[in-house]
Structure 1
Amino acid sequence: MNIKKPLRIGLVVGETSGAILAQGMLKEILQRYPDAVVEGIGSQQLIDMGMNSLFDMNELSVMGLVEVLKHLPRLMHIRKTVIRHFINSPPDVFIGVDAPDFNLTVEKKLKAVGIPTVHYVSPTVWAWREKRIHKIAKATNLVLGVFPFENEIYAKYNIPFKFVGHTMADSIPIEIDKIAAKDALQLRADNLYLALLPGSRKREIDALLNVFIDTYQLLKQKHPNMRIIIPAVNLEREEQIKEMLKDNYPELTDYIISRRPAREVMMASDLVLLASGTAALEAMLCKSPMVVAYKMSGLTYMMMKRLYKPAYFALPNILANKSLVPEFLQEQVNPDNLAHHLEQVMSEEREDLLLDYTAIHNSLAKSADVESSKAILSLIGESQNHDD
């Protein structure tokens, strides 16, 4: 007797930005296979979609070559458990979203026992450690990329790759209605709003929030109507931000901590100061004037200086292959420097910047959720019946 089995999907997501990609892709798959069983590691939003998460996703959100070391025993335990789980109970496909140091090892072990594997978001082999491409070849049946220039390196090594665009470029409108965005957050029309995004991880906030607040206080001397708005990715980060402000800036009252999505905050703000990463791409898609900063441990920075190839680190600059937005690292990240460049950004004509932002936006808006889901289902044979 033929019994139709539900589609089984293994999915491991390492952080918030990857979870956004996974949600859109999974939503498309679930429209076709509403009874699909999804398990692995994911965000609360993915759990709300029916995913069974074996561990808390935040345990994987560790960045930096040195920072990972102290978390290594726990990360290795989680990875070993995930590999054993999927070998014992094989899914129809395993999808690792970003988190390459974690996911590529899982994918390699699963591919070796015949489980089709997909890696969504190419590791930055174009930026550093190009030799990782050989590990990617052994670990994956397909790589889904979010940037168009990545195709070249995968073609060079003859590795199955598909550029699907970026789901954020599909979901954010090309033209931003700033007045409506301010109204949605109930912001006053006569104030100047600076959005501060020091990062979604505890370490990033520890490293950058105080510098960002000091920068704001310098700007406020010239712009008394300036206010800050800080989006917090979850309750834990919100509590951390509140605690730091209370301890270090007890006199500060003119700020808003928002649990609304970061993009809503950036759309409504006049200016953005943020930690480098996916947030810079999102700010660009929101057509926000910005300054990008990042601080890492001294040892990580020394290693990255030797290994990192591109001329820029902020995603808008990498995608444009020119300096679109000011970017600062390490000791350059100080209040005087950041305030000076934010002043410059405020005073500049924005027409050319907007044209560049829009061109990049259009190049990334390729229906990523649809294209990624189609590529995954095609890999495993979307017409298969999963018969017993």
Structure 2
Amino acid sequence: MVNCRPILIGMVAGENSGDILGVGLIKSLKKYLKNVYFFGVGGMRMRSENMECWYNIEELSVMGITEVIFKLPSLIRIRRNLISQFLKLKLDIFIGIDFPDFNISLEYNLKKKGIRTIHYVSPSVWAWRRNRILYLKKAVHSVLLLFPFEKPIYSYFNVPHKFIGHVLADEIPLYPNKIKIREKLGISDKKICLAVLPGSRMEEIKMLAQDFLTCIELLNNNIPNLEVLVPLHHQKLIDQFVKLSSSISVKVKVLHTQKAWKIMVAADIALLTAGTATLECMLAKCPMVVAYRTNLLTFTLVKNFIKIPWISLPNLIAKKSIVQEFIQKECNPKNLSIALLNLLNYNDDQLLTLKRIFYQLHQSIKLNANEKAAYEILKFIKS
């Protein structure tokens, strides 16, 4: 598609995982649109593609109901300003990347004013607050779906959608080279390597880091040749975790990286917070234990509305339990360390079976997502 006039695209990503999706989409759209400009909210990756960002992702990122309430006035002000700015620009299209409670309202208001809208990443309507799909249907022209288990509910409610797979499944090799990556990281083959991912937001790290660190100490008592790697994508998160990790005697290597999956490829086992990291770990073919905790008020309010038995993406995609999950009270150092030691004791057949499942799930979402997403969006842009 060759365009003469400038094409103006609005985008809002509310957290790190959205920044990953956003930068790939921008690169793909630039292949087809030679005179295109991007505006809105993004992270360092999207900024690297010359997107004009009016706010930082950190200003939007929140976790749990109490955090949302505390930050609500600021979020309302930002959303109001974004609507005003986007309308002044007379966008060709707006793409909300995940962050549904913020973006769907934004999309609804823009669509009412005649702007075409796309929502990239389905909200978890298959898990709870199913009625959101009706509001989403009014707010957007199409929804880009990452996972096959999401398709039935969109078909049932007759919401325009496109299943595109996941960009990480395209980026991460089906057969990652563990030996090569360990060599690059300087990890001896005599070491047992544990990857620890305590979260991509400050609130997650505050909630889980101490239990993760205690778990590391328990593991170190049983594994004398343990090497612990903690990949984090933002300096603020690194500073916070380094400060917390000084309380334990075990040496922990905290790495500043945008490619956490490479650390997971190098690892023998992984301990991580529920979220996109569980998908990366599955794609890296690394056995994992998944932990999740939120504040008690949020958990109490939400638990009775959850309609699915799992929280981690590998289990959701597989539609069965293939990785262990520990939630709230069950998420404690003793349980986590026992589960990780059990993974280390897997025999060859057990390990091969788990990795074969990971491989099959990887194939199911490896669909050239950036190109599929760009193609769907181009259909709604008037040349």
What TM-score, normalized by structure 1, do the two folds share?
A: 0.95
For 1:245, the aligned partner's letter is S
CA distance in 1, matches of 2:72, 2:265: 38
Alignment of 1:61-100 (within 5 A): 61-100=61-100
Give the Cα–Cα distance (whole angstroms) in 2 for the partners of residues 203 and 311 of structure 1. 24
Q: Give how far 1:25 is off.
A: 1.2
Deviations 1:231-284 (A, max 9, x none): 1111111111111122x22x34x2211012211111111110000011001100
- CA drift at 1:302: 1.0
Which position in structure 2 is the counterpart of 1:118? 118
Q: Name 1:29's counterpart in structure 2.
A: 29
Offset of 1:34 from its aligned partner?
3.2
- Alpha-carbon shift at residue 222 of structure 1 (Å): 1.4
SS in 1 for 2:227: strand
Alignment correspondent of 2:222: 222
Q: Retained in 1: the 8 A contact 2:8–2:89?
A: no
Shift of 1:23: 1.1
C-alpha distance in structure 2 between counterparts of 1:5 and 1:258, whole Å: 44
Q: Gapped runs of 5+ residues in structure 1?
A: none
Please say if 1:369 is aligned against 2:374: no
- 2:182 aligned partner, one-letter code: K
Distance between the aligned counterparts of 2:176 and 2:56, measured in 1?
Answer: 35
Task: Report the residue type matching 2:333 in the other structure.
Answer: P
Alpha-carbon separation, structure 2, partners of 1:59 and 1:187: 37
Distance 2:369 2:261 in 1: 18
Number of residue equivalences: 377
- AA aligned to 1:358 is Y
Name the structure 1 match of 2:256.
259
| Cα distance in 2 between the residues matched to 1:152 and 1:322 | 17
Aligned to 2:361: 360
In structure 2, distance between residues paired with 1:216 and 1:245: 10
What is the SS of the residue equivalent to 1:350? Answer: helix
Structure with greater contact order relative to length (CA < 8 Å, sep ≥ 6)? 1
Match of 2:296 in 1: 298
For the residue of structure 2 that corresponds to 1:200, the secondary structure is coil
Match of 2:135, SS?
Answer: helix
Distance 2:300 2:283 in 1: 31
Residue 4 (structure 1) shift: 3.1
Q: Distance in 1 between matches of 2:47 and 2:7?
A: 17
Cα pair 2:97 2:103 within 8 Å, conserved: yes
Moved more, 99-108 or 148-157: 148-157
1:328-343 equivalence runs, <5 A:
328-343=326-341
Contact 2:64–2:298 (CA<8 Å) still a contact in 1?
Answer: yes
For the pair 1:175 / 2:172, whether they are aligned, the reply is no
Q: CA deviation at 1:60?
A: 1.2
Q: Distance in 2 between matches of 1:203 and 1:308?
A: 22
Report the counterpart of residue 51 of structure 2 in structure 1.
51
Question: Are the counterparts in 1 of residues 107 and 139 from structure 2 also a CA contact under 8 Å?
Answer: yes
1:145-224 equivalences in 2 (<5 Å):
145-224=145-224
Moved more, 3-12 or 83-92: 3-12
Aligned to 2:9: 9
Work out whether residues 245 and 252 of structure 2, in 8 Å CA contact, stay in contact via their aligned partners in 1: no
Partner Cα distance (2:159, 2:321) in 1:
31
- In 2, the alpha carbon distance for the partners of 1:343 and 1:242 equals 25
Task: Give the structure-2-normalised TM-score.
Answer: 0.96
Alpha-carbon distance, 1:97 to partner: 0.2
How far apart, CA to CA, are the structure 2 residues paired with 1:379 and 1:183? 46
Equivalent-residue separation in structure 1 for 2:198 and 2:14 (angstroms): 19
Question: Pairwise CA RMSD of aligned residues?
Answer: 1.1
> Partner letter of residue 19 of structure 1?
D
CA contact (8 A) 2:174 2:362 kept: yes
- The aligned residue for residue 279 of structure 1 is 277
What is the deviation of 1:321?
Answer: 1.1
Give the counterpart letter for 1:268 in structure 2.
A
The answer to whether the 8 Å contact 2:146/2:165 transfers is yes
CA shift, 1:62, in A, is 0.6
Distance 1:262 1:296 in 2: 23
Please give the per-residue CA displacement for 1:39-86, whole angstroms capped at 9, x wherever unaligned: 000011111101000111111111212221101011111000001111
Q: What SS does structure 2 have at the residue aligned with 1:380?
A: coil
The alpha-carbon deviation at position 35 of structure 1 amounts to 2.7
Question: Do the aligned partners of 2:145 and 2:161 also contact (CA within 8 Å) in 1?
Answer: yes
Deviation at 1:380, TM superposition (A): 2.1
Aligned equivalents of 1:65, 1:358: Cα separation in 2: 36
SS of aligned partner of 2:187 = coil
Instruction: Classify the secondary structure of the residue corresponding to 1:38.
Output: strand
Give, in whole Å, the separation in 2 of the partners of 1:160 and 1:205.
Answer: 37
Counterpart AA for 1:350: L
